[in-house]
Amino acid sequence: MNVIDIGWWQLSLSLVFILLAAVASIIYRLGMERDLLVGTVRTFAQLALVGYVLQFVFDIEHPALILLLYLWMLFWAAHAIHGRVAEPEVSIFGPTFVSMAVTFTLITTVVTSLVVQVDPWYRPQYFIPLGGMIAGNAMNAISLSLERLLSSLRGRRSEVELILSLGGTWQEAARTLRSDAIKAGMIPSVNAMMTVGLVSLPGMMSGQILAGVDPAQAIQYQILVMLMLVGATALGTLIVVNLILRRCFTRYDQLRL
């Protein structure tokens, strides 16, 4: 495979795009110049660090170390969700991290061992990238779902409390809100399936093609990734929304928010 290497000097030329964004922010007084600077520095630093860590992990290929690295990735995904949702009345981080750790580790293991049939199943060249795709997409979906759920509970508090006052359970009072929240998290993944190949070439497929992989093989991997992401997003969103929703009510079916 004839892969064209990108040197650091060539890579630095791409900073012109950040410069353009910063100029636009200054002209229109968006106040995003600092975020752009910090984001650029973190992109270089974090990815460079991850590159060294992955090289170390790839050389060792020990399942415990690989799973520990994946749990570390999921920890920061749950931390990002907690920071984005920021609900002071309900604990979000713990249930989100535990549910993601169990669900996404299981899904990634099934994909590598049964679908791709990697030997061994924990081979980091497959487990970490596939698991990272699941974590990244599900993180955004879970954030959208929880934001919709908590905002709906606050905005429709009177409706929820009316059902509770009439003898309804918390499940009955929040049934519609729960369905709407789960649907909000799944819509981006479903829309991506509807437009894949028509609007854009997905990231994994594009990366493989740039690396010289046969496009037919790249398409098969991309189909796997799309189906895997939709399933993981649906299952992860469903579990997290139900766990957090239960915490929004007391043991006497009183709304906490």
Is residue 2 very low, low, confident or very high in pLDDT (cuts 50, 70, 90)?
A: low
Whether pLDDT at 199 is above 80: no
Could you tell me if 131 and 220 lie in one domain? yes
Instruction: Express each pLDDT in 129-143 by its tens digit.
Output: 899 988 988 888 999
Could you tell me if 66 and 44 lie in one domain? no
Say if residues 77 and 101 touch (Cβ distance below 8 Å).
Answer: no
Residue 254 resides in a domain: no
Mutual angle of helices 175-195 and 124-155, in 10-degree steps? 140
Residue 75 resides in a domain: yes
Could you tell me if 74 and 49 lie in one domain? no
Is residue 108 very low, low, confident or very high in pLDDT (cuts 50, 70, 90)?
A: very high
Q: How many domains does the chain have?
A: 2
Please give the mean pLDDT across all residues of the chain. 87
Residues contacting residue 41 through CB under 8 Å, at least 6 positions apart: none
**Domain that includes residue 17, residue range:** 1-60
Q: What angle do CA 94, 79, 68 make, to 5 degrees?
A: 80
The last residue of a domain, from among 40, 60, 80: 60
Could you tell me if 47 and 70 lie in one domain? no
Residue 234 resides in a domain: yes
Whether pLDDT at 251 is above 70: yes
Could you tell me if 76 and 17 lie in one domain? no
pTM metric for this prediction: 0.79
Whether pLDDT at 103 is above 70: yes
Could you tell me if 69 and 47 lie in one domain? no
Could you tell me if 49 and 116 lie in one domain? no
Could you tell me if 13 and 81 lie in one domain? no
Could you tell me if 128 and 228 lie in one domain? yes
Could you tell me if 94 and 112 lie in one domain? yes
Whether pLDDT at 86 is above 80: no
Residue 89 resides in a domain: yes
Could you tell me if 19 and 140 lie in one domain? no
Could you tell me if 7 and 72 lie in one domain? no
